[in-house]
């Protein structure tokens, strides 16, 4: 697997949690170890991009997280994979 930036990993987590997902599902969809996932969850929750719903034991992407995904995808359309050329 190629090197992934923190931004790319963040986007994978937010996409996996969109609509609600368990920790395990997010871990597998974003190709992260449990230790890595815990680190990212802390950062994402502190910044209001991800929320945990205790009653249903699921993580969900917040409105702020969805805005980040939208902006990231717009940037990807404008500048598609500029790093793969080098």
Query: Which comes out higher in pLDDT, residue 63 or 75?
Result: 63
CA 60, CA 16: separation in Å to the nearest integer?
Answer: 9
CA 68, CA 80: separation in Å to the nearest integer?
Answer: 17
* 1-54 pLDDT tens trace: 578 899 999 999 999 999 999 999 999 999 999 999 999 999 999 999 999 999
Fold category of 6-74 in CATH: Arc Repressor Mutant, subunit A (1.10.10)
pTM, 2 dp: 0.87
CA 32, CA 24: separation in Å to the nearest integer?
Answer: 10
């Amino acid at each position: 697997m190629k090197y992934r930036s923190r931004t790319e990993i963040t986007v994978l987590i937010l996409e996996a949690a969109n609509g609600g997902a368990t920790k395990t599902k997010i871990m597998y969809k974003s190709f992260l170890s449990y230790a890595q996932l815990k680190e990212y969850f802390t950062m994402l929750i502190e910044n209001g991009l991800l929320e945990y719903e205790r009653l249903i034991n699921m993580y969900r992407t917040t409105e702020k997280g969805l805005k980040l995904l939208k902006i990231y995808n717009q940037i990807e359309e404008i500048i598609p994979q500029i790093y793969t050329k080098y």
